[in-house]
């Protein structure tokens, strides 16, 4: 009886052991098909974006952007992230860096000592960022940032036009001078341009420079009176009228904001030349009359008809 019980128990233990071994073998031979996946590359990009957002200055942000830009491209090339992850990372990186760049650019433009080379550098950064594209070909930065960066080009165009205006100071006519001065005043009151002290100083000098050009223009007209001996009297009178008109235009125009030179030296010179010219023409006219009288006398006394007794 006892032997039979022992045999039964032994058989039960054996069956249990075999069942356990078979179950374990099945698990080993047929492992679970799904493991919890941890996307370490996506998480790495997210961590980098947070670090970029907290950058303390533009230089740090710019350096970090260069690294992250390369990282996203490399991860996608190596196929460790898909288009969706790459696009999301691209958007966040570009917005984070773009906001730093925007603050940096317009911070400089609101200062009083920015230069054209600084503006060109900022535009280079903005244009490079604006070329970033998502997998569908769309621009990575939002429209708001794109509009801000486009404004940099407007500032550059206005700056270049203002610079040309500051150098376009040759006198042509009163109306032309008025137009040039008005344009210079328009530029120096433009947003961002008005903060550039060197440019504003150049634009402020436009009335004075045009006035100086006008002064020399008048002086050149008056100087032609010095050629009175080679002119007919009628040509001299026309020249004298032109000189008087030119002097009065300069004297009474009032467009140079008080920055014109005194016209008195030119007036004095004109009066001196006219006095000399008038004396010359009067003398020449008197000489002609004397010649006419001599011819009349010679006609009255012909040596062939009259003899003179000494």
Tokens linked to 299: 């006609």
Compute the distance between CA of residue 7 and CA of residue 113 in angstroms, rounded to an integer.
103
Q: Report DSSP letters for 69-81, one per residue.
A: HHHHHHHHHTTSS
Compute the distance between CA of residue 83 and CA of residue 230 in angstroms, rounded to an integer.
88
Confidence (pLDDT) at 285: 82
* pTM for the full predicted model: 0.75
Which residues are within 8 A (CB) of 174 and not within 5 positions of it... i.e. 6 or more apart?
Answer: 249, 253, 255
Each residue's pLDDT tens digit, 183-226: 999 999 999 999 999 999 999 999 999 999 999 999 999 999 99
Report the DSSP beta bridge partners of residue 139.
Answer: 133
Positions in the chain short of pLDDT 50: 21, 34-38, 292-310
How many CB atoms sit inside 10 A of residue 270's CB? 22
Compute the distance between CA of residue 275 and CA of residue 268 in angstroms, rounded to an integer.
11
Nearest to 268 by CA among 218, 198, 309, 200: 218
Count, residues in the chain:
310
Confidence (pLDDT) at 35: 43
Chain-centre distance of CA 288, in angstroms? Answer: 68
CA angle 96, 100, 106 (to 5 degrees): 140
3-state secondary structure 221-237: HHHHHHHHHHCCHHHHH
Confidence (pLDDT) at 95: 96
Task: Return phi, psi of residue 286, to 5°.
Answer: -65, -40
How many CB atoms sit inside 10 A of residue 205's CB? 15
How many CB atoms sit inside 10 A of residue 28's CB? 8
Which residues are within 8 A (CB) of 203 and not within 5 positions of it... i.e. 6 or more apart?
Answer: 162, 165, 166, 184, 185, 187, 188
Each residue's pLDDT tens digit, 137-174: 999 999 999 999 999 999 999 999 999 999 999 999 99
Residue 30: strand, helix, or coil: coil
Contact 41, 75 (CB under 8 A): yes
Contact 100, 61 (CB under 8 A): yes
């Amino acid at each position: 009886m006892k032997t039979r019980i022992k045999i039964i128990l032994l058989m039960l233990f054996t069956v249990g052991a075999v069942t356990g071994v078979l179950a374990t073998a099945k698990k080993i031979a047929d492992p679970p098909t799904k493991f919890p996946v941890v996307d370490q590359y996506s998480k790495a990009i997210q961590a980098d974006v947070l670090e970029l957002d907290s950058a303390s200055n533009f230089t740090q942000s710019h350096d970090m952007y260069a690294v992250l830009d390369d990282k996203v491209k490399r991860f996608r090339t190596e196929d460790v992230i898909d288009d969706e992850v790459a696009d999301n990372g691209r958007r966040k990186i570009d917005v984070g860096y773009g906001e730093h760049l925007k603050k940096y650019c317009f911070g400089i433009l609101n200062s009083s000592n920015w230069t054209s080379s600084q503006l060109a550098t900022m535009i280079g950064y903005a244009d490079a960022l604006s070329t970033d594209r998502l997998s569908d070909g769309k621009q990575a930065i939002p429209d708001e940032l794109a509009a801000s960066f486009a404004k940099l080009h407007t500032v550059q165009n206005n700056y270049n036009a203002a610079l040309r205006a500051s150098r376009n100071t040759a006198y042509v006519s009163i109306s032309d001078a008025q137009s040039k001065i008005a344009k210079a005043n328009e530029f120096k009151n433009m947003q961002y341009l008005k903060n550039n002290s060197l440019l504003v100083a150049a634009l402020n000098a436009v009335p004075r420079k045009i006035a100086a050009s006008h002064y020399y223009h008048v002086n050149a007209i008056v100087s032609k009176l010095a050629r009175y001996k080679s002119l007919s009297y009628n040509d001299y009178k026309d020249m004298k009228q032109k000189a008087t008109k030119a002097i009065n235009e300069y004297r009474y125009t009032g467009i140079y904001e008080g920055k014109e030179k005194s016209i008195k030296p030119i007036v004095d010179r004109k009066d001196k030349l006219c006095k000399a010219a008038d004396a010359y023409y009067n003398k020449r006219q008197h000489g002609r009359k004397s010649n006419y009288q001599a011819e009349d006398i010679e006609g009255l006394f012909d040596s062939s008809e009259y003899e003179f007794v000494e």
